[in-house]
A = this chain, B = another copy of it.
Amino acid sequence: MHTVGTFQIAAAEMDVLSTRLARLSPLDQADIKLLQHAEAGRRFSPARREMVHEGEPMGEPEAMLSGWACRQRILEDGRRQILAFLLPGDLIGLCRRTGAVAATTVMSVNDVQTCSLPSARPSEALAEAFARSAALEEHYLYAQITRLGRLDARERLADWLLETHERLDFVGLASRDRFPLPITQEMLADALGLTSVHVNRTLQGMRRDGLLTIRSGLVVLTNRVRLEQMTDHKPARPYSA
């Protein structure tokens, strides 16, 4: 059961932050407590609100607790490129430097909950978890570049859907073959470097070929094997495990 679009806290979304970080690095009870305490102080952003402003000084580092957000850049003539999506458990503005300004705008996609990261100097294990989270973020940026540069429309969609499933699954927000997708086809287009019209046509083609189903914000990957074949998609492997 997903509660996309409301501020209600779904069972699956309890402790996403501590859960995700603990999966990235073995945290002890003290770290978990620290994170859960941080998660308690939730902040709310309504849909389509700029949470971070490109070019302005960055605030304190935060974490996504529920909802989706996106990093984006807008060109002078209005063209938009979505650089990445921020999902529950993801960190925002991690590496702070003196006088650092935000490199991109971050905008909430639907209603979003965030919390501040613990401000105390992190333990060794927690620092490791932060570093691995950053490494994953970097990995997905590289994947995005490859997608836009060398995949055609259908491959981009297949690859992106698999990646998103993988990320949501990592924090327990996806089942084996399905996950909630709270974004419009136009946002997908802006993320994948296509037009919304072409995204629509491509999705229909994939639906016709029995690859997937999309209705009312829920994606079902009906043929993962074939999707994976058409995009040599490799799951992220941020550390040698």
Chain A contacts to B: CB under 8 angstroms? 55, 57, 71, 73, 75-77, 79-81, 83, 95, 97-101, 103-104, 128, 131-132, 134-135, 138-139, 141-142, 144-146, 148-150, 190-193, 232, 237-241
In contact, A149 and B150 (Cβ under 8 angstroms): no
In the complex, chain B residues whose CB is within 8 Å of the CB of A142:
71, 73, 83, 103-104, 141
In the complex, chain B residues whose CB is within 8 Å of the CB of A146:
73, 75, 81, 83
State the copy count for this chain.
2
In contact, B101 and A237 (Cβ under 8 angstroms): yes
Give the interface SS of chain A, mostly helix, strand, loop or mixed. Answer: mixed
In contact, B240 and A149 (Cβ under 8 angstroms): no
In contact, B99 and A192 (Cβ under 8 angstroms): no
In the complex, chain B residues whose CB is within 8 Å of the CB of A232:
75-77
A97 partner, pick from B99, B128, B144, B191, beta carbons under 8 A: B128
In contact, A132 and B97 (Cβ under 8 angstroms): yes
Tell me the minimal C-beta distance from A123 to chain B in angstroms: 14
In contact, B237 and A83 (Cβ under 8 angstroms): no
Known: A95-B135, A97-B128. 16 other contacts (CB 8 A): A55-B237, A80-B150, A81-B145, A81-B146, A81-B149, A81-B150, A95-B131, A95-B134, A97-B131, A99-B239, A99-B241, A100-B240, A101-B238, A103-B135, A144-B145, A145-B148
